[in-house]
Amino acid sequence: MTISDGRIGAKRPGWARWLGSTNTITQQFLTLGGRADVVSLAGGLPAAELYPIPAIQAAARRALETHGSAALEYGPVEGFPALRQLIAARVTAETGGVFTAANVLLTSGSMQALDLIGKVLIDAGDLIVAQSPTYLGALDAWRPRQPSYRRLDWDSHEAGFGEALAKAKFVYAVPNYSNPTGVLVAQDRRAALLDKVIAAGTWLVEDDPYHSIQLDGPPGRSILSHCVARKSGPYDGPVIYLGTVSKSLVPGLRVGWVIAEAGMIQNLALAKLATDLSGSMFTQAVTLDLLERDFDRHHAKTIVPLYRERRDALCREASLHLRDWFEWDVPVGGMFVWLRAKNRAIDTDELYKFAIEEKVAFVPGSVFDFAGEDRSAMRLNFTRSSPEVLAEGVRRLARAIGNYVSSRPQLKGRDRSRGASSG
Amino acid sequence: MTISDGRIGAKRPGWARWLGSTNTITQQFLTLGGRADVVSLAGGLPAAELYPIPAIQAAARRALETHGSAALEYGPVEGFPALRQLIAARVTAETGGVFTAANVLLTSGSMQALDLIGKVLIDAGDLIVAQSPTYLGALDAWRPRQPSYRRLDWDSHEAGFGEALAKAKFVYAVPNYSNPTGVLVAQDRRAALLDKVIAAGTWLVEDDPYHSIQLDGPPGRSILSHCVARKSGPYDGPVIYLGTVSKSLVPGLRVGWVIAEAGMIQNLALAKLATDLSGSMFTQAVTLDLLERDFDRHHAKTIVPLYRERRDALCREASLHLRDWFEWDVPVGGMFVWLRAKNRAIDTDELYKFAIEEKVAFVPGSVFDFAGEDRSAMRLNFTRSSPEVLAEGVRRLARAIGNYVSSRPQLKGRDRSRGASSG
């Protein structure tokens, strides 16, 4: 940007440093997602054909009838009061704890919650202990604050890990159907982590966007709920819980929430004030109308069977075409299947280029790894496309793998048999 | 927060450093604004009774009919495509330049644009040259990035100022009805500043939220338009222009926009992706529906006469009760009157406490001053309240001033006559 090319004032100041270490992969997916000839198994988008358009139309009408100008106003920065109260009541009912509106901040999706948490806690170099691989959006959100990372080891009993926790500003985990791996973290591991977090005196960010996408049985009990069980009275624990209607309703309302102790909520609100002044009272009032009717819970029952069918279609087709090279666990919830190369010499960053040639997109595993080391996995989304499109995508991916392996003689000769035998 | 008080995990990590240098004044105003017994001349809120509720209800219905699931989706991060195109077309028509959707980023109000500009340009210690006093929200937005500041001197010809501009990441100005002063910056000053910015090779952020609130004649030609006039072809100038529907329509849709050269838009979009993934396609589609009908321009014609009447009521009452102690220019647009104490020994931070006792709120000038030096001015808003309420507010303020001065013998004796004689 400092090269003069005849533009007015073409000499320009430098960009902030973090921009030099970011990537444009999410933007690439969004662009590819718009190309009709590409089968995208990349993004993390819901099935648009299930968006409840008439219900939202009716909710918008009622919200303006009921709340009038209050639904068109700059908000209280913490969010539309009645929606905060409703969410506090739901969390109270779900966990048995004592939550009020003072424990709730409404955000522009969970993504804004991640940005705000980084703003109030992270200075350059500060440590985050994160489940790895980690949700790409969280790494994006915190990059401008230039944190350092350490991998969350759920089962670690070594002193070094406890010391790292004590130094960390917070722990980040997605225990229900993790993004990207789809893993459902076991109850005892959740409880054990909470013990360590309390002992270390740090915060624990529990990100729970996929809660409603329960494909085979219920999700785990939240770490927030574990925390509540340890002490009665108004909530003051270290768990910062993130929820959203993006998966259970629609993403385009941009309504999510943070549940935390009141002091944390106050500082997050201060950061939100400095970020966008307030959320949209209009979309918050529309969301209130729908949640008052439990519409999101009913709607989730419509979504789940369709997503289950799609997950099964993707896994079935993958078993037919990809198992020589990749292995995976069938996820019991969420939106993704995480494929690990049997041969660690397979580089999914490289494979991605062959996939685009075959007009199929996925997310290479490297972008979920803050250390940038794991390059042998990939994330496939199954919620956005029909079973037929998913099958076609997998067949294209199989062709891409074939082409990639053919172009890498060392993989084809030595490693294919090794790969197959380890499956 | 590190004091153990029996809470679970009550030992907690420290907050990010910038939180130690912030203030909670905006939150205080929002709280006071909700107290029925306080007359708030503080905030910067539009007249809620003019919010066009039926028009927005109809627009929401039409937006979902027309755009269906596209209006409920995660967006392209740059915003709803047709709204970006409409805004590009408007800017093209207004300036005579060549703008396309690639020059437009939709934001969650102008406030988010300020946050994103800080994210892509500012590292700790970087310099911003800002019109002073400065919009409080801009100072809030940039505080987490820990910039340094220098005062923008529109008329400076000294070499030192040129050198400062060359070091600055950007210049920040609100040339139309500045917040907080209400000043309309003259055309020749705008052109002269643009010359210096181009020579220095920096960016210029032109924030224009009050454009539609033209109480006495039109606003000035935008600096963006000056820039366009210097060079034909696709826009690539250093002006980053910020617009919003918060004042011309309603704030609760949270729709604003940035106009800039395409490379800047790309980096701002990358920062937005890391902040909230995307704006609300729903409120952007609703805004599109309204702007396609020029509803915002028609609506501004409804707003302006009412605001003019309120401005006149406030200034008339201030002339009756406040002129012994304060002086001001009647603003030709915008939402505020900026009162300067005739006696610089008057401290409006102190006066504020007396005002709250009398149940009236204003914004003390100190919060608009990045150097924290100017404590002898205050900002009064006239758009939110009826003429009767404004008059009552001014009378309460006069009582507060009386009480304050009585409690400060040095002001009462020596300085009152000095104050009055300078008016």
A176, A228: one domain: yes
A310, A395: one domain: yes
pLDDT value for A10: 66
Domain count along chain B: 2
Contact B257, B292 (CB under 8 A): no
pLDDT value for A411: 85
Residue of B nearest to A234 (CA): B7
A188, A78: one domain: yes
CA distances for A4 relative to A1, A8, A344, B232, B236, angstroms = 8, 9, 45, 17, 12
A80, A215: one domain: yes
CA distances for B116 relative to A256, B138, B140, B268, angstroms = 20, 11, 12, 6
Q: Is A296 on the interface with B (CB under 8 A)?
A: no
What is the least distance, in Å, from the CA of A379 to any CA of chain B? 19
pLDDT value for A423: 32
Contact A326, A339 (CB under 8 A): yes
A47, A155: one domain: no
Whether residues B13 and A61 touch (CB distance < 8 A) is answered with no
Specify the DSSP class assigned to residue B209.
Answer: T
- pLDDT tens digits, one per residue of B296-307: 999 999 999 999
A246, A356: one domain: no
Which chain B residues are within 8 Å of A201, Cβ to Cβ?
A: 9-13
Whole-number average pLDDT of chain A: 92
Task: Convert B106-164 into a string of H (helix), E (strand) and C (coil).
Answer: EECHHHHHHHHHHHHHCCCCCEEEECCCCCHHHHHHHHHHCCEEEECCCCCCCHHHHHH
pLDDT value for B24: 63
Of B7, B43, B140, the CB nearest to A273: B140
Q: How many CB atoms lie within 10 A of CB A78?
A: 24
Q: Is residue B419 part of a domain?
A: no
Whole-number average pLDDT of chain B: 92
CA distances for A314 relative to A32, A44, A317, angstroms = 20, 15, 5
Question: Which uninterrupted H or E stretch holds B393?
Answer: helix B387-406
- pLDDT tens digits, one per residue of B246-277: 999 999 999 999 999 999 999 999 999 999 99
pLDDT value for B43: 87
pLDDT value for B417: 44
A399, A378: one domain: yes
What backbone phi and psi angles, to 5 degrees, belong to B274? -85, 0
Range of the domain at A382: 22-51+301-421
A370, A235: one domain: no
CA distances for B401 relative to B29, B39, B373, B406, B407, angstroms = 19, 15, 21, 8, 10
> Which chain B residues in 34-63 lie under 8 Å from chain A, judged by CB atoms?
34, 43, 45, 48-49, 51, 53, 56-57, 60-61
Q: Is residue A185 part of a domain?
A: yes
Low pLDDT (below 70) residues in chain A: 1-10, 22-34, 413-423
CA distances for B194 relative to B165, B227, B231, B238, angstroms = 11, 7, 13, 9
Q: Is residue B168 part of a domain?
A: yes
Q: Is residue A161 part of a domain?
A: yes
A37, A145: one domain: no
In the chain, the amino acid numbered A166 is: A
B82 against B44, higher pLDDT = B82
CATH number for B192: 3.40.640.10
Residue of B nearest to A29 (CA): B76
The domain boundary, picked from A231, A265, A293, lies at A293
- pLDDT tens digits, one per residue of B200-219: 999 999 999 999 999 998 88
A219, A73: one domain: yes
pLDDT value for B3: 37
Q: Is residue B116 part of a domain?
A: yes
d(CA A271, CA A411) in angstroms, rounded, equals 50
pLDDT value for B361: 94
pLDDT value for B35: 73
DSSP H helical segments within B322-380, as ranges?
Answer: 348-357
What is the least distance, in Å, from the CA of A332 to any CA of chain B? 25
Band of the pLDDT at B312, cuts 50, 70, 90? very high
pLDDT value for B421: 37
Q: Is residue A2 part of a domain?
A: no
Which chain A residues are within 8 Å of B276, Cβ to Cβ?
A: 108-109, 111-112, 115, 254, 276
The domain boundary, picked from A293, A315, A340, lies at A293
User: How much is the pTM?
Assistant: 0.94
Strand-strand pairing, A377-381 and A363-364: antiparallel
> Which chain A residues in 208-227 lie under 8 Å from chain B, judged by CB atoms?
227
d(CA A415, CA B57) in angstroms, rounded, equals 62
The domain boundary, picked from A268, A293, A318, lies at A293
d(CA B87, CA B89) in angstroms, rounded, equals 5
**Percent of chain B clearing pLDDT 70 (strictly above):** 92
Whether residues B64 and A53 touch (CB distance < 8 A) is answered with yes
A189, A229: one domain: yes
Contact B204, B173 (CB under 8 A): yes
Q: Is A420 on the interface with B (CB under 8 A)?
A: no
What is the least distance, in Å, from the CA of A215 to any CA of chain B? 23
Whether residues A64 and B56 touch (CB distance < 8 A) is answered with yes
pLDDT reading at B414 higher than 50: no
Cα angle, residue A171 at apex, residues A170 and A172 outer, rounded to 5°: 120
Band of the pLDDT at B27, cuts 50, 70, 90? low
Q: Is A258 on the interface with B (CB under 8 A)?
A: no
Specify the DSSP class assigned to residue A62.
Answer: H
Cα angle, residue B310 at apex, residues B307 and B314 outer, rounded to 5°: 140
Q: Is residue A5 part of a domain?
A: no
In the chain, the amino acid numbered A395 is: R
B240, B323: one domain: no
In the chain, the amino acid numbered B315 is: C
- pLDDT tens digits, one per residue of B94-140: 999 999 999 999 999 999 999 999 999 999 999 999 999 999 999 99
Question: Which uninterrupted H or E stretch holds A114?
Answer: helix A109-121
CATH number for A332: 3.90.1150.10
